[in-house]
Structure 1
Amino acid sequence: MGIETEIAENTTKNSSKSSSRKNRRRNRKMPAVQNLFHVCKDVFANGGTGFIPRPEDVDRLRSILDSLKADDVGLSPGLPYFRLMRNGRSPIITYLHLYECDKFSIGIFCLPPSGVLPLHNHPGMTVFSKLLFGTMHIKSYDWADGVTCTATNSENGDGARLAKLKVNADFVAPCNTSILYPAAGGNMHCFTAMTACAVLDVLGPPYSDPDGRHCTYYREYPFDRFSADGISVPENEKEGFAWLEERDKPPELMVVGAPYRGPRIVE
């Protein structure tokens, strides 16, 4: 009886060790995007409009994205998506859809040189953006105190709101993942490709018109363009503010979808 128990215990221990080794091998072989999917699924499990992940979950997801490389998703600057067409038109931006559910989405924007994703918002969303390769200029704003302006020298100024500049800089891959939150971190941003660029976005939750998460585009005006009662900014700080006015989707913006051909995500 004692021998049988010992054999059973040893068998269980060996089985446990074998299982542990298999799990380690499985984790080592798991494609980076599959690992990203699993972490997103965990981080955004209880997500919804306005959801902000816990700091430790932000760090966990950021760490995975920071280590992600273009070849992990089957991309390189030589692919047709990144060629600049010499036809005088605005560069065409290609979107590769990796995954989407009601909690989060994963996708990649492929921008040729001079390609622009115009200033737009992310209502109630937390967004992780990882530049996979290239040099990209990012300009982003957050609302400044929710102030609505009064027009002075433009009949279109009534709908403009004051915004505070958060980021206005070039980013060169490899670089850290950018993160924006529902009301902070530069929720309204514009991407301009200085060279061919690929940027992977994780949106939690994704855009959804029925849920009030509609993508809105903006025109920006210098601070001096409009005025508002009780609003004044020192001369040397004016460049840190702008008036943003809602606009229709810019007609020059062309984003087309293409099949994602990198490692497949398995739910």
Structure 2
Amino acid sequence: MLAKLLKVPRDSMTSLIQQIARKASVTFKNCGSANGDNEVFLGNQGELSNLLNEIRAADLKITPRKIKSSSKSQSHSPPVTYMHICETEDFSMGVFLLKPGASIPLHDHPGMNGLLKVLYGKVRIRCLDKLDNPPGAESEIQFNPPLLPNQKEALRRSIQRSIGEYTEESSPCILTPLKDNLHQIDAVDGPAAFLDVLAPPYDPDDGRDCHYYKVLQTVSGQQEQEDVWLLKIPQPDNFWCGGEPYPGPVVSF
């Protein structure tokens, strides 16, 4: 009888981040770069999103960063750092920490699914989708400033889907290979941190490299249906990501 009274359900003995990792593994197992629109996948993704909705910074032993006065050492430190939690062939998971005013520039996730859950602070996320370039469309549009001849190959037509602000009380932001796949993330009103799940992980050797973009201005300044033109660019000079140790519960398989 005493043994039954003292018996603890398995999930209550397992850290929440371990439960998230296991659910991510089930969700994205053999998913590859598929868009994931079948009922089984969507069911698993919904359960994963619900688990992520419960996670808080304290569960990962992370505390909000204090805003430090500017100094030479601070000015040369990375605006964004990353805590690696785990990675398998199906997904990767870690925490991004943004300093006040920091931004992760507009970038893509080729053939990847993802979920982003804010742990503290506030971030503004701008999401876009790539569209097919109509033949010759770029030659009919005047850009300001004008494009160089070698830049036309790096043009991408896209549509802006949303701009929203997220806090720890917000549901996860979800991206798929076709929807909300490009996004820019800005820290708002102070430092911020978010848990990031990507599936499958970035892998340049398998066609999943991260590309950066900037939004081009047209001479008219107007776009039908919020269509925008993007130019693929190198990683911006003012953005780089450092690393720091992850202090939270160990995740294992």
* TM-score of the two chains, using structure 2 as the length reference: 0.85
* Alpha-carbon offset, residue 37 of structure 1: 1.1
* Alpha-carbon offset, residue 171 of structure 1: 1.9
Partner of 2:147: 155
Q: Distance in 2 between matches of 1:262 and 1:207?
A: 23
* Alpha-carbon offset, residue 168 of structure 1: 1.3
Partner of 1:92: 79
Partner of 2:9: 25
Partner of 1:174: 169
* TM-score of the two chains, using structure 1 as the length reference: 0.81
**Structure 2 residue 235 is matched with structure 1 residue 249:** yes
Q: Distance in 1 between matches of 2:111 and 2:68?
A: 34
Structure of larger gyration radius: 1
Going from structure 1 to structure 2, the CA distance change for 1:225 and 1:212 (only over 3 Å counts) comes to farther
Q: Distance in 1 between matches of 2:129 and 2:69?
A: 32
Alignment partner of 1:134: what SS? strand
* Alpha-carbon offset, residue 152 of structure 1: 3.1
Going from structure 1 to structure 2, the CA distance change for 1:178 and 1:84 (only over 3 Å counts) comes to farther
Alignment partner of 1:149: what SS? helix
User: Which blocks of at least 5 consecutive residues in structure 1 are unaligned?
Assistant: 1-13
Letter in structure 2 aligned against 1:155: L
* Alpha-carbon offset, residue 233 of structure 1: 5.1
Partner of 2:204: 209
* Alpha-carbon offset, residue 89 of structure 1: 5.9
Partner of 2:113: 126
- Count of aligned positions: 238
Q: Distance in 1 between matches of 2:208 and 2:46?
A: 25
| Alignment check: 8 A CA contact 2:78 2:242 kept | no
| Alpha-carbon RMSD | 2.6
Partner of 1:65: 52
Moved more, 100-109 or 89-98: 89-98
Letter in structure 1 aligned against 2:108: N
| Alignment check: 8 A CA contact 1:142 1:187 kept | yes
Partner of 2:245: 259
Letter in structure 2 aligned against 1:252: N
| Alignment check: 8 A CA contact 2:112 2:176 kept | yes
| Alignment check: 8 A CA contact 1:83 1:112 kept | no
Alignment partner of 2:95: what SS? strand
Partner of 1:109: 96
| Alignment check: 8 A CA contact 1:117 1:253 kept | yes
* Alpha-carbon offset, residue 91 of structure 1: 5.5
Alignment partner of 1:41: what SS? helix
| Alignment check: 8 A CA contact 2:79 2:99 kept | yes
Q: Distance in 2 between matches of 1:73 and 1:167?
A: 29
Bigger RCO (CA 8 Å, 6+ sep): 2
* Alpha-carbon offset, residue 92 of structure 1: 2.0
| Alignment check: 8 A CA contact 1:84 1:113 kept | no
Q: Distance in 2 between matches of 1:264 and 1:178?
A: 24
* Alpha-carbon offset, residue 121 of structure 1: 0.1
Moved more, 212-221 or 25-34: 25-34
User: Which blocks of at least 5 consecutive residues in structure 2 are unaligned?
Assistant: none
Q: Distance in 2 between matches of 1:44 and 1:76?
A: 29
Partner of 1:193: 187
| Alignment check: 8 A CA contact 2:119 2:194 kept | yes
Alignment partner of 1:28: what SS? helix
Partner of 2:62: 75
Q: Distance in 2 between matches of 1:29 and 1:85?
A: 43
